[in-house]
Amino acid sequence: DAGVIQSPRHEVTEMGQEVTLRCKPISGHDYLFWYRQTMMRGLELLIYFNNNVPIDDSGMPEDRFSAKMPNASFSTLKIQPSEPRDSAVYFCASSLALRGTQYFGPGTRLLVL
Amino acid sequence: ELKVEQNPLFLSMQEGKNYTIYCNYSTTSDRLYWYRQDPGKSLESLFVLLSNGAVKQEGRLMASLDTKARLSTLHITAAVHDLSATYFCAVDMSRTASKLTFGTGTRLQVTL
């Protein structure tokens, strides 16, 4: 299996622009997670899905952030409008079962100028 | 609110030496993970510890869990340069959800 796939790997954008991050989970995994990693706050869970349904979005920082999972093999995390403080590495992860080991993608390094 | 603390935050050690990384957490949990992250890379799962007294070993790394003390340790035996990375513990505190709270990470640097 190819593992969790994320795109783009790097994104540089200007403040106010819309940013869309993409994730393809491991085939057969029913759970998908979005995390954000920064030096100041470490790794934070933003939202997770089960069978394409958002289960817990309490970690989503603001209304500027939204996430969707239209089917079992694709999810997006959108930031609109983006701000410099959104600069971080965004990881997507998937797991086979509830409370199963989470497998992380390579991450998207986002820089908002 | 669950807090997960690791110490030390940074560890520089010589090849061949032994050391232990500590992970303390603030509330009851029955499941703890250890991950490794190389600079600029993703997180790689190392161990999952599922019960009090659980011990897992892989190569020069051994992890243990004491749920009563709310403490997990990652012991490094005879360190080699390839072990240089940042190590995270992550606690799963819910039996009905799937939410990991990550520790601050311990950056390990193994020198010759």
Is B100:B4 a contact under the CB 8 Å cutoff?
A: no
User: A42 and B42: CB-CB below 8 Å?
Assistant: no
Query: Scanning every residue of chain A, which has its alpha carbon at the shortest distance from the alpha carbon of B39?
Result: A106
User: Which has the closest alpha carbon to A91: A107, A79, A103, A80?
Assistant: A107
Is A78:A70 a contact under the CB 8 Å cutoff?
A: no
**At A1, is the pLDDT very low, low, confident or very high (cuts 50, 70, 90)?**
low
Which 3 state secondary structure label does DSSP give A66? strand
Q: Does B3 touch chain A (CB under 8 A)?
A: no
- Chain B residues near residue A100 by CB distance under 8 angstroms: 98
Query: Scanning every residue of chain B, which has its alpha carbon at the shortest distance from the alpha carbon of A10?
Result: B40
pLDDT above 70 (res A113): yes
β-bridge partners, A24: A5
Is A90:A77 a contact under the CB 8 Å cutoff?
A: yes
Query: Scanning every residue of chain B, which has its alpha carbon at the shortest distance from the alpha carbon of A5?
Result: B42
User: What whole-number distance in Å separates Cα of residue A17 and Cα of residue B78?
Assistant: 50
User: Which has the closest alpha carbon to B9: B111, B110, B109?
Assistant: B109
- Chain B residues near residue A95 by CB distance under 8 angstroms: 98
Which tokens belong to B82? 């390839």
Q: Lowest-pLDDT range, A34-38, A68-72, B66-70, B97-101?
A: B97-101
Is B96:B31 a contact under the CB 8 Å cutoff?
A: no
**At A62, is the pLDDT very low, low, confident or very high (cuts 50, 70, 90)?**
confident
Q: Give the tens place of pLDDT for each residue, B52-63.
A: 888 999 999 999
User: What whole-number distance in Å separates Cα of residue B100 and Cα of residue B2?
Assistant: 10
User: A104 and B100: CB-CB below 8 Å?
Assistant: no
- Chain B residues near residue A106 by CB distance under 8 angstroms: 41-42
Which tokens belong to A63? 């209304």
